[in-house]
Amino acid sequence: MIPPLDARCVGRVCRAFRSSFARPQTHGLTYIAALTLSRLSIILITKNEASNIEACLRSVAFADEIVVVDSGSTDETVEIARRLGARVEVTPDWPGFGPQKNRALALASHPWVLSLDADERVTPELQVEIEAVVRQDGATQAWEIPRLTQFCGQWIHHCGWTPDYVMRLFRRESAQFSQDLVHERLLLAPGQTGRLRSRLLHYSFPTPTHYLRKLEQYSQAWALQRYQAGQRAGVFRATAAAVVAFVRSYFFRLGFLDGAMGFAVCALQAQGAFGKYFVLYCMGRISATKNSLDTGPKDGR
């Protein structure tokens, strides 16, 4: 038989029960964030991003889920991401940026998704705006975020790099990425979109080598995609693209206001414009030469 409880005992039990559900007094914001951000997934695709991945993931530690799809890193990218609590999937192939991001999107399990690159950082101000969007869960299905890019230690405010609005926060069920090998786009179902105010920081090019390496990768992927679609280019087209790119970014987009670094950025943009068309030109030349050899006279004839 259970002995009867006196009034004081009952009072202590009731107070203990109420306190177990009470809102923490010293960590109220943390408590609220835990309640309101249980609907957000972060997705990233990576390869050899050990120098970036930790800072990136720590900037989105407020989210409920982080999904990383890695395409065979040989550094510590995967280990760091897993140590920080991310779900990491390693793929044996590289299908291109669009298809790889769709793989990551397919693994996200929450209604709202924030797509990031490893060299990007969410600021505390941007976190507050993202929290508000997810908490309100309004009619807007996707949000553009202004991105500020750093080049060799200097923030670039012109050159066509700023304002750089990128569509990154969206409802999972209303979006997918295009199948482009490079410069993929977010394809949205019909609906309302909006813009956030706080900036996403982009530490993309700490040295010129990083820019040139990414430029080569993008030029090859861009040219291959155009070549497979039947497009061709000549040297004149490549030269014209370079001139137009420099004039547009340096003069019309006020690159000169960023000083010497602005000139360097605009010159490299011109190099990139020339390079991608020149690679496309070379693909056509190589194909034409091969076809000529295949259809030419055989030995002894």
DSSP per residue, the chain:
-PPPPPHHHHHHHHHHHHHHTSPPSS-HHHHHHHHHTTTEEEEEEESS-TTTHHHHHHHTTTSSEEEEEES--SSSHHHHHHHTT-EEEE-SS---HHHHHHHHHHH--SSEEEE--TTEEE-HHHHHHHHHHHHH--S--EEEEEEEEEETTEEE-STTTSSEEEEEEEEGGGEEE---SSS--EEE-SS-EEE--SPEEEEEESSHHHHHHHHHHHHHHHHHHHHHTT----HHHHHHHHHHHHHIIIIIT-GGGGHHHHHHHHHHHHHHHHHHHHHHHHHHHHHHHHHHHHHSPPTT-
Q: How many domains does the chain have?
A: 2
For residue 163, what pLDDT is reported? 86
Residues 190, 285 within the same domain: no
Residues 156, 226 within the same domain: no
Residues 230, 185 within the same domain: no
> Quick check: is 5 in a domain?
no
- Using one digit for the tens of pLDDT, what is the confidence trace for 126-142? 999 999 999 998 899 99
Residues 111, 56 within the same domain: yes
For residue 287, what pLDDT is reported? 86
For residue 18, what pLDDT is reported? 41
Residues 213, 199 within the same domain: no
Residues 213, 99 within the same domain: no
Residues 163, 282 within the same domain: no
Residues 97, 184 within the same domain: yes
Residue ending a domain, among 186, 204, 222, is: 204
- Using one digit for the tens of pLDDT, what is the confidence trace for 30-80? 444 444 444 999 999 999 999 999 999 999 999 999 999 999 999 999 999
pLDDT tens digits in sequence order for the chain, 301 residues long = 434 444 444 444 444 434 343 333 333 444 444 444 449 999 999 999 999 999 999 999 999 999 999 999 999 999 999 999 999 999 999 999 999 999 999 999 999 999 999 999 999 999 999 999 999 988 999 999 999 999 999 999 999 999 899 999 999 999 999 999 999 999 999 999 999 999 999 999 999 998 999 899 999 999 999 999 999 999 999 999 999 999 999 999 999 999 999 999 999 999 999 999 999 999 999 988 887 776 665 555 4
For residue 33, what pLDDT is reported? 43
Residues 168, 253 within the same domain: no
Domain range for 284 = 207-292
pTM of the complete model: 0.81
